[in-house]
Amino acid sequence: MTETSILLIYTGGTIGMVKDEETGSLKPFNINKIINFIPELARLNYNLEKISFDPLVDSSDMSPKQWIELVEIIEKNYNEYDGFVILHGTDTMSYTASALSFMLENLGKPVIITGSQLPLGMVRTDGRDNFITAVEIAAAKENGVPTVPEVCIFFENRLYRGNRTYKYNAENFNAFRSVNYPLLAESGIYIRYKRKNIHKHNNEKLKLHKKLDSQIAIMKIFPGMQPSSVEAMLNTKGIRALVIETFGSGNAFTNSWFIDMLKVAISNGLMIFNVSQCIGGSVEMGKYETSRKLKQIGIIGASDMTTSAAITKLMVIMGEETDREIIKDRFTSSWAGEITE
């Protein structure tokens, strides 16, 4: 065994598809034969161990069940490996990265999530470079300390804080963006780390959060929205929390029917959180009259969190808490760099 050990966790997704020479169709590859597809990995001289989901999961089918499975794999192997690389489909990659950043509290080792827009089995695949560099980042240390002790997404030469990302393009190789937080690293001839942007490990013991509550709904408002649509969403059976995607810095229409419906729902126990539809900027409750009324009736602003971060953070908090005030306090405080302080 070499000095550096990396655990590769293959969940599924585009990157893991190769061409069947007999049929010509794409099929999932055998992760144990990944060196056959990326022989350059052998030259890194790392001990690369592999675990594969069985069955494999398309990222569109990713759920809290699989997030818990990932956390349990990392928990079981945490002391045996220097870092972890997760191969994952792109469609829900930001959700998984956000969820893991909250479920792995006090993380002290890199968890790098990557994938590709074209399968490894295709000539022009972007998966080869994404995979090789993700492994290098997971193994990187400075003075014996992991360089990037965070849950990250590496894609097309850029390393992002996972809970700050969103997928913005389904065709380009550069599929992800992080508008409200700068890059953690860029790769070219060298991998250049932006050390001031990287979370510093607090040396506390890893704390896991494996109980999730997904009784949450999202309501995206739009001009001309009908009262019946809002009423149906607010009365959805079983939900404990609602995330409203509002305009600009947290603004919404001020029609009395809309405000009154939200107020009644809150008085009946529903927690409502305010996330901006904009890809950049922050919710500032009360900055304009159109958000002041939302604040007055008890809606909680999500600051500059992404929708995927807000949703997964609520899942973790609600899995552990029932007190509404505690949930609100934990939601508005930064755990893993998901909020700009």
Secondary structure in 3-state letters for 50-74? EEECCCCCCHHHCCHHHHHHHHHHH
Question: Is residue 82 left, alpha or beta, with left meaning phi > 0 and alpha meaning psi from -120 to 50?
Answer: alpha
Residue 47, beta-bridge partner list: 5
Burial class (CB in 10 A: 0-12, 13-18, 19+), 22: exposed
At 3, is the pLDDT very low, low, confident or very high (cuts 50, 70, 90)?
Answer: confident
At 22, is the pLDDT very low, low, confident or very high (cuts 50, 70, 90)?
Answer: confident
Whether 332 sits among the annotated catalytic residues: the reply is no
CB 276 within 8 A of CB 287: no
Give the dihedral sign, CA 87/93/97/100. Answer: negative
Cα–Cα distance for residue pair 238/216, rounded to 1 Å: 9
Burial class (CB in 10 A: 0-12, 13-18, 19+), 69: middle
Higher-scoring residue by pLDDT: 146, 25: 146
- How confident is the model over 180-187, as a mean pLDDT? 96
pLDDT exceeds cutoff 80 at 142:
yes
Q: How far is CA 87 from the centre of its chain?
A: 13
Catalytic position from the list 4, 11, 14, 92: 14
CA angle 48, 53, 55 (to 5 degrees): 145
Least confident range from 34-48, 122-136, 303-317: namely 34-48
| All domains of the chain in start order, with CATH | 5-208 (3.40.50.1170), 216-332 (3.40.50.40)
* Phi and psi at residue 161, to the nearest 5°: -65, 125
Cα–Cα distance for residue pair 166/59, rounded to 1 Å: 14
pLDDT exceeds cutoff 70 at 2:
no
At 4, is the pLDDT very low, low, confident or very high (cuts 50, 70, 90)?
Answer: very high
Least confident range from 1-15, 69-83, 186-200, 209-223: namely 1-15
Residues 6+ apart with CB under 8 A from 133: 154, 157, 187, 191
pLDDT exceeds cutoff 90 at 317:
yes
- pTM for the complete prediction? 0.94
- How confident is the model over 315-323, as a mean pLDDT? 97
The DSSP line for 244-286 is EEEBTTTB----HHHHHHHHHHHHTT-EEEEEESSSSS---TT
Residue the block writes with tokens 């191969």: 87
At 122, is the pLDDT very low, low, confident or very high (cuts 50, 70, 90)?
Answer: confident
